[in-house]
Amino acid sequence: MYRNERELSLVEIEKIVKDASENSIEYINITGGEPLLLKNLVEIVKLVKDYGIEVSVFSNLHLLNQDLATKLSRYVDYFLTTIDGPREVYETIKGANTWSKFVNNIKILREIGVEIHVNIPVSKINYRRIDEAIEKTLELGIHSISIIPVIATGRAFESKTYVSSIEFKEALILANNVCKKYSLTITAWCSPFIGVFRDLSNIRFGNCRDWNVIDLTPSGNVVLCDVTGLVITNIIRDGVVESWRKLCRFRENNRINQIPFDCSKCWFSNNCRGGCYARSYLISNSFNKPDPLCPINA
């Protein structure tokens, strides 16, 4: 979605980070695309850390090596990565001969002592093997785990590999059962409706409508959730404070924080608040429709 954008220079990045620091921003996550493609990534994370801000990197880890891992670990608080399942599932999604490289780089990070969080994307390809994905993550020595339903955008939209409500529920049940087996609690991202399932005791959830977060594209555009591509402003032009004001104004004008009418009589609506507004927008072209994955409105 953003691959043709001009990337920010290090000078522009420092301008943003300095502004963020002066306005009490506590955390920056560098994601992609693939952040390890950035030739100046070490300089960027050092810059963020020098301004006293916590920093993480979300990467598939395929381009990592011992030298780069060592340099990044001096500044990065933790890494995030994804596992789709065991080798055959992982390579179906990520490509041939990627599994051994991934596992080796996980071991490098663990030997260095860097914290790792694994996010498991749930798609039509792997929704019946989510339990195996969790077990494989545990085998790699990682216990910080989340799952997320693949959003209907980009390649997932083109290939129709994003999950239905029924498929995601099946994945949630598998995940909860294996979590019970290992006395593990995980988090479901972008799924605030799962509280309607009273038996998913080992899966936590939250709601991004409550977050004070700004999503930036490679050129510094401020977008309403990175999956939508809806540009609100540019942070280089407007700065952190004014960008946040414009983002909040857009959310207010489009009633994004209001419960959709179709959800108003649901017993769980005050917690879920309509679910993922980005998924609603991508599927129904409206911020004010119920989350398409909601089991009640499906």
- Domains (range + CATH), the chain: 10-234 (3.20.20.70), 254-298 (no CATH)
Q: What is the pLDDT of residue 3?
A: 83
Paired tokens of 204: 């936590």
Q: What is the pLDDT of residue 77?
A: 98
Given pLDDT bands bounded at 50, 70 and 90, which one contains residue 210? confident
Cβ–Cβ < 8 Å for 186, 146: yes
Query: Helix or strand or coil: residue 233?
Result: strand
- Give the neighbor-by-neighbor strand order of the sheet with 145-149: 27-30, 54-58, 78-82, 115-122, 145-149, 186-188, 203-205
Cβ neighbours, 10 Å, residue 163? 23
Non-local CB neighbours of 22 within 8 Å, separated by 6+ positions: none
How do residues 65-87 score in pLDDT, each as one tens digit? 999 999 999 999 999 999 999 99
How do residues 254-293 score in pLDDT, each as one tens digit? 999 899 999 999 999 999 999 999 999 999 999 999 999 9
Given pLDDT bands bounded at 50, 70 and 90, which one contains residue 297? confident
Q: What is the pLDDT of residue 298?
A: 65
pTM (two decimals)? 0.95
pLDDT at 143 over 70: yes
Q: Are strands 115-122 and 78-82 parallel, antiparallel or unpaired?
A: parallel
Share of the chain above pLDDT 90, in %: 92
